[in-house]
Amino acid sequence: MCIYKDSNGNEIELASVNLDNIKLILLDFDGTLVNTGRANAVSYCEALEEEGIHLTLESYRERYFGWRCPEFLHDLGIDSNEDVKRIRQRKIDIYPTHFDLISLNESLWNFVLEFKKRGGNVAIVSTGHPSNLRNAMDHVGITHLIDKIYTSDCVKRSKPFPDCFLLAMNDFQATFGQTLIFEDSQVGLEAASRSGATYIQVSLPF
């Protein structure tokens, strides 16, 4: 079951969210719009196993869930940029083989579709690798309904800095008061808070 919380940590229902002044919704992807947690974890564990590094799904979930790839690989003692690049690419190659483990957050997606019917714009703002992101979006069939995609490659500073969110607001000519953000990770929530926009925390089961 998906849980939604406001910026004060109070559980809310999407039906209660006021969209009267909102013209732009910005969505994190992994763990927010799409439940990709287990697929990502399995893919990383398999890629690391090939390197002789054993990481269990439980360990990944408890310690590294929500971390960006380079940071969590460095924490595992993988310091060479070449090694990080190789493992990351191997994970990208493995990831589509586990798409049977990903699922669309139907309640949020239905909310988004209703918002689009009202003429609002919707964009993805993710720290995920562009190839991973587009492959997963194609798999769940939502690519053609998203107005724009922003990744860490779009800005010099990724989450927890708000730069990606601010770039999206600028592109769509929406103020922070006209923007609603959905996020799940701590770095994403910090970035959302620093953007000045209203944000909602999403908690999906692992």
**CATH of residue 87:** 1.10.150
Q: Which residues pair with 150 in a beta bridge?
A: 125
Q: What is the pTM of this model?
A: 0.89
Model confidence band, residue 158 (pLDDT cutoffs 50, 70, 90): confident
pLDDT recorded at residue 18: 94
Please tell me the predicted confidence (pLDDT) of residue 167: 97
pLDDT, residue 199, reads 98
Q: Are residues 67 and 107 in the same domain?
A: no
Number of domains in the chain: 2
Do 29 and 109 have their domain in common? yes
Pairwise CA distance, residues 54 & 155, whole Å: 33
Residue 123 sits in the same domain as residue 181:
yes
Higher pLDDT, 82 or 206: 82
d(CA 40, CA 165): 24
**Cβ-Cβ contacts under 8 Å for 58 (sequence gap 6 or more):** none
| pLDDT for position 70 | 86
Whole-number percent of the chain with pLDDT over 70: 100
pLDDT at 66 over 80: no
Reduce the secondary structure of 32-74 to three states and give it as a string: CCEECHHHHHHHHHHHHHCCCCCCCHHHHHHHHCCCCHHHHHH
CA distances from 198 to 5, 23, 60, 80 (A): 12, 12, 30, 39
Taking only the tens place, the pLDDT of each residue in 88-127 is: 999 999 999 999 999 999 999 999 999 999 999 999 999 8
Mean pLDDT of 68-74: 87
The residue segments making up the domain with residue 54 are: 37-100
Q: Does 198 lie in the same domain as 111?
A: yes
Same domain, 59 and 137: no
Average pLDDT, the chain: 94
Say if residue 28 is in the same domain as residue 93.
no
